[in-house]
């Protein structure tokens, strides 16, 4: 291993350089676009900014707060009060033009960049775990693939160069920050930094509620360690090894055992308990801060009502790329509560089966959860898709045999062009109607579903292949 490393150091440094140049190029590209952001007018696109993430609404909320009115008055702002006190001063238009505006955009660029770096680090730790588990299974042959660009780099570059991410970043919505905290929690869990993971999870949940379901994969990561083949395989292999060559010297076996010191057999309760403790600590802290900042404006109750309540009861039916707005615009009022419950429970229903099936791959599980929640969210934006598409890059090797990848790619490209066009037909030209736009939203949802289904089945196929290989080659 060491020798190999030495021989490939030159190539790895080259790859590193390659990565950093591309990452910097993406940052520069963003800065150039931000310079023209006034002309692009992305902030008013329904695909980019939702009622929850729109920076314009945040500015409104800040203005209300400055004039000592509750920031939630008038149903304009629905985000966190903490975000208000951090980003709020940057949204104020001073006399001297757009200096603050630029700082704000710069903040989003930095958030994107940090997200990419964290994804890369997560990818590296995932890859290490993957390599280790393959080695312990004795399937070294598959490792030769790792000569290519590592999956972390790919994922980070996919995240940085994804047009959806760029659009979200330039279109000044707060979703880059939400994404940052989601990735932060995953990173913390993969690196076993319990306080960091808890912090990321608490803040992400506080900002947009849906990451709350990530607690399942986070606990699984902390308990079992990052993604690996099925645990049964290791047991089989160990038992077969023991059964097969009892005559070989014990020294060898011991060495092998030493080389795989932390085989994820046991569930480490210690870290999980730590995580829960830290999470409760952080959430108390966040609630305290929020309480202080909204003390004069109706307290925490008001905050919960107009942030989480706003997410859960879907009162804003302005069009977006999700499917809920159309449905709740059509549904009769007395069925509304019922369907609200149905839609939200839909996400919750998915949690348990997926957690059971994919419990050996918690990071992938987190990806699936994020994709599903961005599909069934009440106010989805392309920023959510940007996040899960970036995370998809982490599993490039496992998903290499994924079907319909080209079809999905075409679908995403087509939808991302079609959606603004349909919106234009409906709103500006008046020749179309809401059904036109909703059709693209439905198609988008279908593509997301296909993506999730195909990626999960590819992952399961990959597991099957590993099992076959490990049985074939003892």
Partner 1 sequence: MAESETPKTRPRPLVRLGIFLISHSLLVSVVCCTAGVLALLLLPVLAKNTYISENALMPGSANAMLSSEDISEAHRFMNDLTGLNLKTGETGIESSRLIARYMSDLGADVNYHKFHPQPNQFRPLHFFSNSDSRIIQENICCSSHGVNTVGIIRAPRGDGKEAIVLVTPYNSHKIDLAEALSLAIAYSVFSLLTRVTWLAKDIIWLAADSKYGEYASVSAWLRDYQTPVFGDFEKPYSEICCESNARHGLKESEITERKISDVFRRAGTMAAALVIKVSDGNKQADGTLSIYAEASNGQMPNLDLINIVNNLAVHRQGLQVKVEKLLSLLDSKWLRILGEVFESVGNIARSLNPQWKFGIPAADYMEGAATLASSLYYQALGVPTGSHGAFRDYQVDAITLEISPKVALNNKIRQTEFLQRGGRLIEGVIRSVNNLLEKFHQSFFLYLLTSPSKFVSVGVYMIAFALLVAPLPIVAASLYSDANKWDSSLKKHDPTSSPKSADDEHRNILRSWKWLYAAKQVFIIHSWGVLVSLLPYLICQMPNWMSKVLTWLILGSPIIDADASQSQKREWAILKSVTISAAFIGLCLMSVINFATAEIGALLLVPMCLLAHPLRLDVRAHSLKAFTRAGCNLVLGFIGFPPAAFFVLKGSFEGFESVNISDFWNWIESLWAWNSATYLYIE
Q: Which of residues 141-160 bind partner 1 (CB under 8 A)?
A: 141, 144-145
**Among 77, 257, 110, 279, which Cα is nearest to 179's?**
110
**Among 272, 196, 264, which Cα is nearest to 225's?**
264
39 is an interface residue for partner 1 by CB under 8 A: yes
Query: What residues contact residue 27 under an 8 Å CB cut-off, 6+ apart?
Result: 109, 113, 160
Please count the residues of this chain forming the interface with partner 1, following the rule CB under 8 A: 32
- CA gap 192, 187 in Å, rounded: 8
First to last CA, the chain: 21
410 is an interface residue for partner 1 by CB under 8 A: yes
For the chain, the residue count is 474
Which window, 47-55, 120-128, 260-268, 402-410, contacts partner 1 (CB under 8 A)? 402-410
Q: Which lies closer to partner 1 via its Cβ, residue 214 or residue 396?
A: 396
> Which one of residues 4, 244, 330, 401 is an interface residue with partner 1 (CB under 8 A)?
401
- CA gap 197, 190 in Å, rounded: 9
421 is an interface residue for partner 1 by CB under 8 A: yes
Q: Which of residues 334-363 bind partner 1 (CB under 8 A)?
A: none
428 is an interface residue for partner 1 by CB under 8 A: yes
**Among 356, 361, 353, 370, which Cα is nearest to 399's?**
361
CB 71 within 8 A of CB 91: no
> Which one of residues 417, 449, 473, 474 is an interface residue with partner 1 (CB under 8 A)?
417
- CA gap 465, 141 in Å, rounded: 13
As beta bridge partners, residue 62 has none
- CA gap 390, 292 in Å, rounded: 36
Residue that has been written with the tokens 């952001």 in this structure: 37
402 is an interface residue for partner 1 by CB under 8 A: yes
- CA gap 37, 250 in Å, rounded: 67
Q: Which lies closer to partner 1 via its Cβ, residue 95 or residue 430?
A: 430
405 is an interface residue for partner 1 by CB under 8 A: yes
**Among 385, 381, 342, which Cα is nearest to 367's?**
385
> Which one of residues 40, 257, 288, 329 is an interface residue with partner 1 (CB under 8 A)?
40
Site string for partner 1, 41-60 (x = CB under 8 A): x--x----------------
472 is an interface residue for partner 1 by CB under 8 A: no
As beta bridge partners, residue 54 has 173
Which window, 54-62, 181-189, 216-224, 393-401, contacts partner 1 (CB under 8 A)? 393-401
- Rounded to the nearest 10 degrees, the angle between the axes of helix 382-392 and helix 99-137 is 30
Q: How far is the CB of 435 from partner 1 (least distance, A)?
A: 13
**Among 411, 353, 346, which Cα is nearest to 378's?**
346
434 is an interface residue for partner 1 by CB under 8 A: no
- CA gap 143, 147 in Å, rounded: 8
Which window, 97-105, 168-176, 318-326, 413-421, contacts partner 1 (CB under 8 A)? 413-421
406 is an interface residue for partner 1 by CB under 8 A: yes
Which window, 73-81, 245-253, 271-279, 399-407, contacts partner 1 (CB under 8 A)? 399-407
Phi first, then psi: what are they for 97, rounded to 5°?
85, -140
Q: How far is the CB of 144 from partner 1 (least distance, A)?
A: 6
Q: Which lies closer to partner 1 via its Cβ, residue 343 or residue 437?
A: 437
408 is an interface residue for partner 1 by CB under 8 A: no
Q: How far is the CB of 433 from partner 1 (least distance, A)?
A: 9
418 is an interface residue for partner 1 by CB under 8 A: yes
Q: Which lies closer to partner 1 via its Cβ, residue 234 or residue 412?
A: 412
Residues that bind partner 1 (CB under 8 A): 38-41, 44, 141, 144-145, 397, 400-403, 405-406, 409-410, 413-414, 417-418, 420-422, 424-425, 428-431, 436, 461
């Amino acid at each position: 291993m060491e020798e190999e490393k030495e021989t490939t150091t030159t190539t790895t440094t080259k790859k590193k350089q390659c990565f950093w140049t591309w990452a910097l190029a993406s940052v520069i590209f963003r800065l150039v676009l931000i310079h023209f952001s006034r002309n692009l007018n992305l902030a008013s696109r329904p695909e980019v900014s939702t009622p929850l993430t729109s920076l314009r609404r945040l500015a409104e909320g800040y203005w209300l707060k400055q004039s000592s009115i509750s920031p939630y008055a008038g149903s304009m702002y629905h985000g966190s009060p903490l975000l208000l006190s951090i980003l709020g001063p940057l949204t104020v238009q001073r006399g001297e033009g757009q200096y603050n505006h630029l700082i704000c955009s710069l903040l989003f660029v930095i958030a994107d960049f940090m997200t990419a770096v964290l994804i890369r680090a997560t990818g590296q730790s995932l890859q290490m775990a993957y390599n280790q588990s393959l080695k312990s299974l004795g399937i070294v042959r598959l490792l030769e693939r790792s000569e290519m660009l590592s999956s972390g780099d790919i994922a980070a570059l996919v995240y940085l160069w994804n047009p959806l991410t760029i659009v979200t970043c330039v279109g000044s919505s707060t979703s880059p920050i939400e994404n940052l905290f989601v990735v932060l929690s995953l990173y913390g869990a993969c690196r076993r930094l319990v306080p960091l993971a808890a912090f990321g999870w608490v803040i992400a949940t506080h900002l947009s509620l849906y990451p709350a379901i990530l607690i399942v994969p986070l606990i699984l990561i902390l308990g079992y360690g990052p993604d690996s083949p099925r645990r049964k395989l290791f047991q089989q292999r160990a038992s077969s090894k023991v059964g097969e060559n009892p005559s070989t010297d014990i020294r060898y076996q011991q060495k092998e055992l030493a080389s795989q010191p932390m085989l994820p057999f046991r569930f480490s309760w210690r870290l999980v308990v730590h995580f829960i403790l830290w999470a409760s600590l952080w959430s108390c802290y966040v609630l305290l801060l929020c309480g202080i900042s909204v003390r004069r404006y109706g307290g925490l109750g008001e905050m919960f009502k107009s942030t989480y309540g706003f997410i859960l009861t879907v009162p804003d039916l302005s069009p977006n790329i999700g499917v809920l707005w159309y449905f709740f615009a059509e549904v009769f009022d007395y069925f509304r509560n019922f369907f609200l419950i149905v839609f939200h429970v839909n996400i919750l229903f998915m949690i348990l089966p997926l957690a059971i099936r994919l419990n050996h791959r918690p990071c992938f599980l987190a990806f699936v959860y994020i994709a599903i929640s961005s599909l069934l969210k009440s106010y989805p934006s392309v920023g959510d898709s940007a996040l899960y598409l970036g995370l998809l890059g982490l599993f490039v090797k496992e998903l290499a045999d994924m079907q319909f990848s080209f079809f999905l790619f075409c679908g995403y490209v087509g939808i991302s062009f079609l959606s603004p066009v349909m919106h234009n037909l409906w709103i500006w030209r008046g020749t179309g109607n809401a059904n036109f736009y909703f059709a693209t939203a439905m198609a988008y949802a279908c593509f997301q579903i296909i993506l999730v289904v195909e990626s999960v089945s590819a992952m399961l196929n990959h597991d099957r292949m590993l099992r076959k290989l490990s049985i074939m080659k003892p």
